[in-house]
């Protein structure tokens, strides 16, 4: 196998990785945007699903009410509850991690480090 064919194969593999990274980054951006809005909207709700004003809640009760609001409200009122709120937070964190890993990967390729 000649040097040219080795170079061409490496170049082709690099293009596949770049396309894959671009797809990952687009997916991560989409999740960050969607879930980020959901989180902000949930945290901006003035009351818990019980009707209690958020500024009257403290500690664990406030955190659970916030998580439920992020999830779209309590399950009893038709929302996703704390489960959906936790899922939103987890997906946001995962997407943020993927985006950072892709960015680091790109920086290493540019600098030539492995």
The pLDDT assigned to 104 comes to 84
Domain ranges of the chain: 47-97
How far lies 31's CA from each of 94, 105, 114, in Å? Answer: 9, 20, 28
| Angle ∠(58,37,49) on CA atoms, nearest 5 | 40
**pLDDT (tens digit, 9 = 90+) per residue, 20-77?**
778 888 899 999 999 999 999 999 999 999 999 999 999 999 999 999 999 999 999 9
Q: Is the pLDDT of residue 15 over 80?
A: no
**pLDDT (tens digit, 9 = 90+) per residue, 74-88?**
999 999 999 999 999
pTM (two decimals) = 0.75
């Amino acid at each position: 196998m000649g040097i040219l064919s080795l170079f061409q194969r490496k170049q082709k593999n690099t293009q596949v990785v770049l396309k894959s990274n671009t797809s990952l980054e687009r997916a991560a951006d989409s999740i960050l945007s969607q879930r980020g809005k959901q989180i902000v909207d949930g945290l901006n709700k003035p009351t818990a699903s019980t009707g209690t004003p958020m500024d009257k809640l403290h500690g664990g009760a406030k955190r659970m009410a916030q998580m439920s609001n992020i999830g779209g409200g309590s399950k009893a009122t038709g929302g996703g509850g704390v489960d959906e709120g936790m899922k939103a937070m987890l997906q946001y964190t995962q997407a943020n991690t993927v985006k950072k890993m892709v960015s680091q990967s790109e920086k290493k390729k540019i600098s030539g480090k492995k």
